[in-house]
Structure 1
Amino acid sequence: MKNLSSRIINPVVIENMRIALHSIRSHLLRTILTVMIIAFGIMALVGILTSIDAVRYFFVENFTRMGSNTFTIRNMTMQGGGEHHRSDFLKKITYDEALEFRRNFTFPSVTSISTFASGSATARFEGKKTHPNNRVWGADENYLATSGEIIQEGRNFTPAEAFYGNHVAILGEAVADELFEKKGNPIGKVIGVGSGRYVVIGVLKSKGSSIGFSNDRTIILPLMNVRQTFAKPNQSYSINVMTSQTTSMSAAIGEATGIFRTIRKVPLGEQDNFAIIRSDTFVEMMIQNTRMISIAATFIGMITLVGAAIGLMNIMLVSVTERTREIGIRKAIGANKRTIRNQFLAEAVVIAQIGGALGIVMGIAIGNVVSYLIGSSFIIPWPWIILGVTLCFIVAMASGILPARKAANLDPIEALRYE
């Protein structure tokens, strides 16, 4: 067995590793500083890339709920501070326009109308109040299906409740937990929102958080009720459309564009004064943005690792100077240049891999903390782990080759005279 292991692992390699570990223990403080420099470089790289993966998975996971067969029609918004020559370019979508679209759009699909009522609403129940950071939406009975929301407890609006504007409400999980403190069933309880009182008929399944902001702080009220109690001038409405098949999306969007241009009386040849956004387009845009961030993060991590490589090289050069006499003794008893060179390269590799392992662990921890905060799942980023190990080996070889060559080329007689 011993002979077998000797054939598998070269005894010279084992000896070089033993000497490397002994040297590391002999200069512990210096080694720790070098290891930490490398660890922070790898941590920054792996941590940022893992965090970006977590954000990417979160968006893909959440928008997959909506499916790739949904699109939204909404008003244009000013972007980049640009000026538009047409006065109607930023025109809001009115309720009558949304209704007319729903009546005229005959493509096989489910269509819903919704409006954003408030982003700072407070909900109340028996003297308890939530923080004023709840978003209130007015929506019809089809809104949950077209927006990817799932009922966890209770039920959806009935068509009659949506049409007549009954005082009923569907709560996001965070709102329900804060009001009722995870005790008892919120269904049937009467809460206050704004100036109105509403019976809770449903609680939505959690969607987690996005960049630290909860997606569960939502209150959905019947559309007609919001038009009465949260009325504001120049209110704009959104239209969500879910087609029966993904393959029919292009045809549905083409028909929707033609109908809505007619409703809004957009002149032939003029640009649309409304936006149509596909759910899968948003996901693609987010993935593209995170890809650019990944490139930037990799560049930053590489700069850090270059600094770590310079630090490791300096440490190894100092080590060669301190061990000049030791190198002379080894050469005097028969060690050749290759043996001496490999000895110092092994030391550089050991230091770099210890730093890399520590950095990878810290990077994965940071990435998964971000994943937890945004409500995504646990991630083991194998590509970034492999990248981290590979980069550490490259850093070790790049940093160790010059000191190793210097040590290998020392004259044994001069080295033995060194004090």
Structure 2
Amino acid sequence: MWKITLENIKIAATSIKSQLLRTCITVFIIAIGIWALVGILSVVNALKHTIVADFSSMGANTFTLSQYDTAGKIAKNQSTQVENPPITYAQAQDFKTRYAYPFSSVSLSFTAASNIEVKNDYAKSDPEVSIVGCDENYLSNSGLQVEVGRGLTYTDSKNNHFVCVVGSDFSKNMFKGQSPINQQISVRGYKFKIIGILKEQGSTFGQNEDQRVFIPLQLARTIFNETNINYTLKVGVLQEGLLNEAIDQATIDFRASRNLAPANPSNFGIERSDDMIRSLEKQVDILNMAAWLIGMITILGSSIALMNIMLVSVTERTKEIGIRKSLGAKRKTIAQQFFTETLIIGQLGGLIGTMLGIGTAYLMTSLLHFTFAIPWEAISAAFITTLVVAVISGLYPAIKASKLDPVEALRYE
């Protein structure tokens, strides 16, 4: 059995070498289909990993009360929504007073400014920095980890200490290799001492999460005193099994804070930390289906091309087949020889296409700042697909070659 298999491989290799140009064209046609399939699946897989990584930073067991239900809007593909009033400071504070659910903590925050410039004694930043006013619970409820130093405390918030926690970009760009801890930065002319540096977050939909400065809430309200500030409430629940009940209680309490009558619908949104991930994963699954469709259409063309090439090969080698049969070769042996040749060509195309697809995906994810992961699913799909293509494309030519009449084959010119 093994001797016959090795002999078939040698014969296939000899045939491939004798028709090198045609073989290369066939391999490249197959590679294009696998390239498209693996490349698209890899990029979609990287997008999925990036979404999960980005939104897991919201905290594993938290929910957010905000002006709108963004996750619900995405899930329902809504382009418009009812205009909800912003969450005021009085309403947010009233909710914090009312809400006393066990094993939970409430944080209050707002985006004080975006795209502003921050300075220190050495340099100044690009006008891309966001200032977030928050309390002592915000970082933990948002899943943000302090890598060096410490976070904001109750004392910092209560006594309006001029301290801040900054994103990881500040340690790279503004302090010329020195540690930013206990150094000062200037925000709107006010000097803040850096007490903590966050772990690197990366970008979320083009927004750099590592260029944020977190300052005590009351100081942010004083420095960035604007009308109609929209506040955000985050609630962290220590025990996962209590999350649904905590959300129900938060809905009741915040409706009271908004002075809503029982008959009135809620004019705010509550988003679980995993709602956005589930909603976006649905969109990614649609892209995944589209990727498979595009890949399958391309591979269908590759299958037809491979079958035609092998039929031409059978026709050109008719006399050779007649000689082999006259020397005692069985139909099964002839079929195996052609089938082996088809498998080798198919796997060569699959291997080249897989390598091209992974390389292209890595380049694309680097340019788009996605989290690249080895696409084992796409590689497995490529291997199985090329095997199926080879079987389908090689079966008919192999059977046709095995059924040739040896006398007629010997007379073929």
Instruction: Give yes or no for TM over 0.5.
Output: yes
- Structure 2 residues without counterparts, runs of 5 or longer: none
- Structure 1 residues without counterparts, runs of 5 or longer: 1-8
SS where residue 312 of structure 2 aligns?
Answer: helix
Q: Deviations over 1:128-154 (max 9, x none)?
A: 333333332111111111001111112
Relative to 1, partners in 2 of residues 1:211 and 1:237: Cα closer, same or farther, differing over 3 Å? closer
Q: Deviations over 1:25-65 (max 9, x none)?
A: 22223222322232232233233333333343444445445
Q: Deviations over 1:100-133 (max 9, x none)?
A: 1101111121110011233322322335333333
Matching of residue 48 in structure 1 with residue 40 in structure 2: yes
Relative to 1, partners in 2 of residues 1:98 and 1:266: Cα closer, same or farther, differing over 3 Å? same
Note if contact 2:113-2:130 (Cα within 8 Å) is conserved in structure 1: yes
User: Deviation at 1:387?
Assistant: 2.4
SS where residue 186 of structure 2 aligns?
Answer: strand
Q: Residue 153 of structure 2 is aligned with which of 131, 134, 158?
A: 158
The whole-number CA distance in structure 2 between the counterparts of 1:68 and 1:185 is 30
Matching of residue 345 in structure 1 with residue 343 in structure 2: no
Q: Deviations over 1:323-371 (max 9, x none)?
A: 2222222222222332222211111111111121223333344455566
User: Deviation at 1:251?
Assistant: 1.2
User: Deviation at 1:230?
Assistant: 2.6
For residue 82 of structure 1, what is the amino acid of its counterpart?
Answer: T
Identity over aligned residues, as a percent? 39
Count of residue pairs the alignment pairs up: 405
Note if contact 2:69-2:271 (Cα within 8 Å) is conserved in structure 1: no
User: Deviation at 1:391?
Assistant: 1.0
Matching of residue 113 in structure 1 with residue 114 in structure 2: no
Matches within 5 A, 1:54-203: 54-64=46-56, 66-76=58-68, 80-82=78-80, 84=82, 89-108=83-102, 109-126=104-121, 128-181=123-176, 183-203=177-197
SS where residue 345 of structure 1 aligns?
Answer: helix
The whole-number CA distance in structure 1 between the counterparts of 2:79 and 2:275 is 23
User: Deviation at 1:412?
Assistant: 3.0
Note if contact 2:183-2:193 (Cα within 8 Å) is conserved in structure 1: yes
User: Deviation at 1:180?
Assistant: 2.3
SS where residue 153 of structure 1 aligns?
Answer: strand
For residue 342 of structure 1, what is the amino acid of its counterpart?
Answer: Q
Note if contact 2:46-2:370 (Cα within 8 Å) is conserved in structure 1: no
User: Deviation at 1:375?
Assistant: 6.6
Aligned to 1:14: 6
For residue 269 of structure 2, what is the amino acid of its counterpart?
Answer: A
The whole-number CA distance in structure 1 between the counterparts of 2:188 and 2:406 is 88
SS where residue 71 of structure 1 aligns?
Answer: strand
User: Deviation at 1:211?
Assistant: 5.6
The whole-number CA distance in structure 2 between the counterparts of 1:122 and 1:36 is 52
Note if contact 2:322-2:406 (Cα within 8 Å) is conserved in structure 1: yes
The whole-number CA distance in structure 1 between the counterparts of 2:190 and 2:205 is 31
The whole-number CA distance in structure 2 between the counterparts of 1:321 and 1:124 is 77
Relative to 1, partners in 2 of residues 1:301 and 1:170: Cα closer, same or farther, differing over 3 Å? same
User: Deviation at 1:72?
Assistant: 0.4
Aligned to 1:332: 326
Q: Deviations over 1:224-255 (max 9, x none)?
A: 22222233332211000011211111111111
